[in-house]
Amino acid sequence: SSEHVFMVTSTGTVFLCWDFYILGIKFSILYVCFLQWEEVSIMDEKNIPIRTYQVCNVLEPNQNNWLRTDWIPRSGAQRVYVEVKFTLRDCNSLPGVTGTCKETFNLYYHESNEDRESYIKESSFIKVDTVAADESFTQVDVGDRIMKLNTEVRDVKVTTRKGFYLAFQDVGACIALVSVRVFYKTCPLTIRNLATFPDTVTGADTSSLVEVRGSCVNQSEEREEPKMYCGADGEWLVPIGGCVCNPGYEEKGGACKACSVGFYKARSSDAGCSKCPPHSHSLRDGATVCDCHSGFFRANSDPPSMACTQPPSAPQQLISVVNETSVVLEWAPPRRLGGRSDTSYSLECLICQTGSHSQTSSRSCLACGSDVLFSPGQTGLKTTRVVVSELRAHTHYTFIIHARNGVSQASGAGAAQSVAVTVTTNQAVPSLVSSIQATDVTRHSLSLSWQQPDRPNGVILEYEVKFYEKDQRERSYRIMRTFSRSADVTGLKPLTVYVFHVRARTAAGYGEFSAPYEFSTNSDPFPLIGEGVNSAFLLLSVSGVGILLLITAAVFIISRRRSKYSKTKQDSEEEKHLNPGVKIYVDPFTYEDPDQAIHEFAKEIDVSSIHIERVIGVGEFGEVCSGRLRVQGKREIYVAIKSLKAGYSDKQRRDFLSEASIMGQFDHPNIIRLEGVVTRCKPLMIITEYMENGSLDAFLRKHDGQFTVIQLVGMLRGIASGMKYLSDMSYVHRDLAARNILVNSNLVCKVSDFGLSRVLEDDPEAAYTARIPIRWTAPEAIAYRKFTTASDVWSYGIVMWEVVSYGERPYWDMNNQDVIKAIEEGYRLPAPMDCPVVLHQLMLDCWERERAERPSFSQILNMLDKLIRNPGTLRRTGGDRNKYNTILPEVCVPEWSVCEWLQSIGLERYRDTLAAAGYTSLESLLALTHQEMDRLGIITPTHQDILISSVQQEMLSQMQHMQHTMVPV
Ligand code: ACK
């Protein structure tokens, strides 16, 4: 119904124009028809010119018009978004347009590395989508200049090439592309948990997450690997791990800022900066640790959060207690610990020359050897007590206790924190004897030798050998003493294993017994030399059975004879301990602290339980009183109270108490009993049982001639029993005399006064000769201080003499020098008036020059018991009391051959004994047995042996003589 005007431009654009009238008004429409996509400028609704690509071949069927973009570099994108803005003409609003008109277009892409592909086949493009318009415009809209702009976004994965082309396919729509925006998405740069995550291109797929590792911000370090995921829509997801600020820095606003002055942060893991601890400061920003104020220190192991501290001051109140060769050191902790709790102590041990007062002088002091023992240790001590042992005896030591703590080294402090003490060790018992060896082993004997102890700690006065049959254990053992480092042990059983222990004795007492050494006796009668057999024995073996038998018989006879001898000889030479578990006396002077010994052996008595009645005498240390003691729960008893007079010296106190320490170890009816001591208040007292009749010598003098012999022997028996007990305990009295025997109301005699042994040892030079009781003392003890049980036996003989003579002074008014000389020349006290011969004989036995020949207390006791059982043997007495009487031989009556024979063998002393027992001829003497001689009081073992063997010899020679002189008729 209107005129159509077609104009075709050179580019193929067709302008379609027509006019039409509505209600008489003429409208002209210019419709531009594009044969292909055409770039056209149009005005948008705001009348701003914009460039568009248009196509509108709606009249022609089968349209296929392509518009392609330039090459678009991918730039790392994996999924690109294409936002297309376009307008589209409503097909219905186009007049005359039939079924050819479309309202969609197609979007394609083609990936390529080529940025200038001139020709791309249609088939190379991949379709993204068919895009339809949400809105389309009509003729009216055009007239009203209304832009109905559509915006459609499509996304596509582009991962295979460097870039891509987009293409728009028109299949017959009237369309104008206003804009095409191609973009990809990123997760933007961000900081999470002190880690920076970069701007990150999203993944290829709509659901893919790109894992991204963050990097720590400045002045921070990784706590745990920082990670996040970049989602397809450009959002960060799931933050993991993170970073922490470096030491000296703390987090502020997602960054790490330096700690300010006065603050520090030591570790990155610390929450934030902290104020400097006490006695420290930081002068610059970013401090990781605060510096200590001057005079304060920090140990390597101290945490930076700890206050700065100082070394300790010196230990205080160092005290030392010397115990022989050990020293106990004890001190109090330093006054200032420097603000720390790790104070430790170390001990420096120096041996200093005599008289050196310098505590640290290296000139006069040397470090102690490595053999000194420190318990619990020498360094790193946490306790304030150390026992130092294995020190040398009689040596000056300086001990320096250093106090240290964790900052001592840092502070460079040394001697200022130490305290020193100088001590002198005491005498000590010798250390262990070692390397005991046995040589010359025979059936009955062996020779032992050993090494001197490593630490003799003084001059070794003697060795003591203890031995027992292995099978017997220590139920029964024997003791031998010797000066040398060897001993011949005899009287052993053949083929028997013996256990030997040896210990040494110095002035300080006995050391410990050595470890056990086992040796076995032989079955061979001869000593073994080295590994081989005695050559004499070999010779005899091959010399024939007869000779062998003869020798065997001889050996048998001799050994039978000798067995008594050797056994008894040992009894006198060695104290024999047959009582199982017999106690050995402990010298209280082996205790460093006399109070320790006293409290070990004596009971402390409360002074209030003692009631003193009267003074009964004066002892060495003060008055002796009698009184009563009432101990709770016991009946009241009479006691003697010895007190220590005021103004005593340490040594006097020690000597005084030592007697109680000795006495307290004994428990025997013939030893004075200690009730206890008073040491906690003054005066010091020793309380003993009360002996009504006082000292034996005074008591006998008072009752001169008033007792029967049996009573006297009874007293002597008591004393011998007490002395046997002491000798069994290895205690040597050294001052056995009637004045030191106390007598009670029942005439029971008890040995007392245990003070002398120490006096003699303490002051061997001055006190020795002055105080030694010469008249009572054995010659070897006077000559070279060989005090033994055998020397006590000598003294016992003198006591016997005192008793039988009713308290006469031994050797009357002879002076000491004369006594010593007379004894040396063989003089012995004569029998006191009315003295039974057997008793005097026993005295003479006790006064044998050779101490081994003297009887033991056990033998004396047996002898006295026999005499008491057979009072008849006491009937025979010697001559009158006669000053300077001697026991030198009297002339034999010529016709009595026994007398001459006894003279010839030097045993004329038994003349009367044998005669009294009816032994008047040599023949009769052949019947003598050991038992018989024991009974007669001939108890010296060698004497018995000599008598038996000599009488046999004599008879044999007499018979031989007769055979030669008598001629048969
Ligand atoms: O001969 P006496 O009376 O006996 O004089 C001395 C004195 O003290 C000095 O030692 C006597 N005496 C010592 N101990 C006792 C005691 N336990 N019982 C009785 N008297 C004693 C001693």
Rounded distance between C-alpha atoms, residue 644 and residue 646, angstroms? 7
* 688 in contact with ligand 1, CB cutoff 6 A: yes
Q: Is the pLDDT of residue 32 over 70?
A: no
539: which DSSP letter? H
What's 52's domain CATH number?
Answer: 2.60.120.260
168 pLDDT exceeds 50? yes
Specify the pLDDT at position 116.
Answer: 87
* Confidence category of residue 21, pLDDT binned at 50, 70, 90: low
Residue 717 sits in a domain whose CATH number is 1.10.510.10
Q: What is the mean pLDDT of residues 710-727?
A: 94
Residue 750 lies in a domain: yes
868 vs 689, residue with greater confidence: 689
Specify whether 915 is located in the same domain as 779: no
Question: Each residue of 608-627: pLDDT tens digit?
Answer: 999 999 999 888 888 999 99
CA dist list (Å): 384 to 377, 387, 432, 582, 599? 11, 10, 31, 41, 27
Residue 553 within any structural domain of the chain: no
Has residue 583 been placed in a domain? no
Segment 916-961, tens digit of pLDDT: 888 888 788 888 888 888 888 888 777 787 788 777 767 766 665 4
Share the mean pLDDT of the chain.
82
| Positive/negative CA dihedral, 509, 512, 517, 519 | positive
CA of 604 to the centre of ligand 1 (A): 21
79 shares its domain with 153 = yes
CB-facing half-sphere around the CA of 770: CA atoms within 13 A: 6
Contact between 779 and 821 under an 8 Å Cβ cutoff? The reply is no
The CATH code of the domain that includes 240 is 2.60.40.1770
Q: How far is the CA of 205 from the centre of ligand 1 (A)?
A: 124
Task: Assess whether the C-beta atom of 629 lies below 6 angstroms from ligand 1.
Answer: no
The answer to whether residues 674 and 704 belong to one domain is: no
- The answer to whether position 252 is within a domain reads no
Name the percent of the chain lying above pLDDT 90. 48
The CATH number for 338's domain is: 2.60.40.10
> How many whole angstroms separate alpha carbon 958 and alpha carbon 962?
6
Which of 691, 693, 703, 735 is the best mutation target for the ligand 1 pocket, counting ligand atoms within 8 Å of the beta carbon and taking the most? 691
Nearest CA to ligand 1 atom 1: 695
In a domain, 803, yes or no: yes
Tokens representing 303 are 């945490």
| Domain final residue pick, 521, 547, 576 | 521
pLDDT tens, position by position, 46-104: 888 888 999 988 888 889 999 999 999 998 999 999 999 998 988 888 777 778 899 99
DSSP 907-939: -GGGHHHHHHTT--SHHHHTT--HHHHHHHT--
d(CA 753, ligand 1 centre) in Å: 10
Final residue in a domain of this structure, among 663, 689, 715: 689
Considering the domain architecture, whether residues 72 and 10 belong to the same structural domain is answered as yes
Nearest CA to ligand 1 atom 2: 694
Domain count, the chain: 7
The yes-or-no answer on residue 735 being catalytic is yes
Distance between CA 807 and CA 748 in Å, rounded?
16
The lowest-confidence range among 478-482, 544-548, 583-587, 843-847 is 544-548
- Structural domain contains residue 280: no
Residue 783: DSSP 8-state: H
Name the catalytic one among 735, 753, 792, 845: 735
- 745 and 631 both lie in a single domain: no
Relative to the CA of 617, which ligand 1 atom is closest?
7
| Backbone φ/ψ region at 856: left (φ over 0), alpha (ψ -120 to 50), beta | beta
Lowest mean pLDDT, pick from 167-171, 275-279, 763-767, 897-901:
763-767
Distance 591 CA to ligand 1 centre (A): 28
Q: Which residue has the higher pLDDT, 939 or 251?
A: 251
Q: Supply the pLDDT for residue 757.
A: 55
Assess whether 320 and 228 both reside in one domain: no
Does the beta carbon of 408 lie inside 6 Å of ligand 1? no
Q: Do 379 and 346 share a domain, yes or no?
A: yes
The burial class, CB within 10 Å (0-12 / 13-18 / 19+), for 8 is exposed
Query: What is the mean pLDDT of the segment spanning 550-574?
Result: 37
pLDDT at 742: 97
Residues near 542 by Cβ (< 8 Å), separated by ≥ 6?
A: none
Domain housing 629: 588-689
Please tell me whether 622 is known to bind a ligand: yes
212 is in an annotated binding site: no
Instruction: Report the sign of the C-alpha dihedral through residues 351, 355, 359, 365, in that order.
Output: negative
Q: Do 828 and 841 lie in a common domain?
A: yes
Say how far apart CA 587 and CA 509 lie, in whole Å. 7
Decide: 502 in ligand 1 pocket, CB within 6 A.
Answer: no
Share of the chain above pLDDT 70, in %: 82
Q: Looking at the structure, tell me whether residues 8 and 140 fall in a common domain.
A: yes
- CA-nearest residue for atom 21, ligand 1, is 694
Domain match, 335 and 388 both: yes
pLDDT of amino acid 685: 95
Question: To the nearest 10°, the Cα dihedral for 908, 910, 911, 916?
Answer: 180
Domain boundary among 483, 499, 521: 521
Lowest mean pLDDT: which of 84-88, 140-144, 799-803?
140-144
pLDDT tier at 769 (50, 70, 90 boundaries)?
A: low
Contacts of 834 (CB under 8 A, 6+ apart): 709, 804, 877
430 band by pLDDT with thresholds 50, 70 and 90:
confident
- Alpha-carbon gap, residue 720 to 214, rounded angstroms: 107
User: Is 298 inside a domain boundary?
Assistant: no
282 Cβ closer than 6 Å to some ligand 1 atom: no
Q: Residue 831: phi, psi to the nearest 5? A: -65, 135
The verdict on residue 73 lying in a domain is yes
Identity at 754, one-letter amino acid code = F
Read off the CATH number of the domain in which 937 is found: 1.10.150.50
Quick one: pLDDT at residue 143? Answer: 65
pLDDT given at position 83: 96
Does the beta carbon of 401 sit less than 6 angstroms from any atom of ligand 1? Answer: no
Q: Which atom of ligand 1 is nearest to the CA of 672?
A: 17
- Residue with the smallest CA separation from ligand 1 atom 4 is 694
How far apart are alpha carbons 941 and 573 in whole angstroms? 11
Cα(303)–Cα(280) distance, integer angstroms:
13
Query: In terms of domains, do 824 and 744 share one?
Result: yes
Q: How many angstroms does the Cα of residue 663 sit away from the middle of ligand 1?
A: 15
Question: Tokens in use for 429?
Answer: 């018992």
Helix residue ranges per DSSP H, 284-443: 408-411
Query: Could you tell which of 616, 687, 691, 748 is best to mutate to test the pocket of ligand 1, judged by most ligand atoms within 8 Å of the CB?
Result: 616
Whether residue 256 contacts residue 249, with contact meaning beta carbons closer than 8 Å, is answered with yes
Asked whether residue 144 falls in the same domain as residue 16, the answer is: yes
Widest pairwise Cα distance in the chain: 222
Residue 406 in contact with residue 301, Cβ under 8 Å?
yes
Mutate to test the pocket of ligand 1, among 613, 615, 624 (most ligand atoms within 8 A of CB): 624
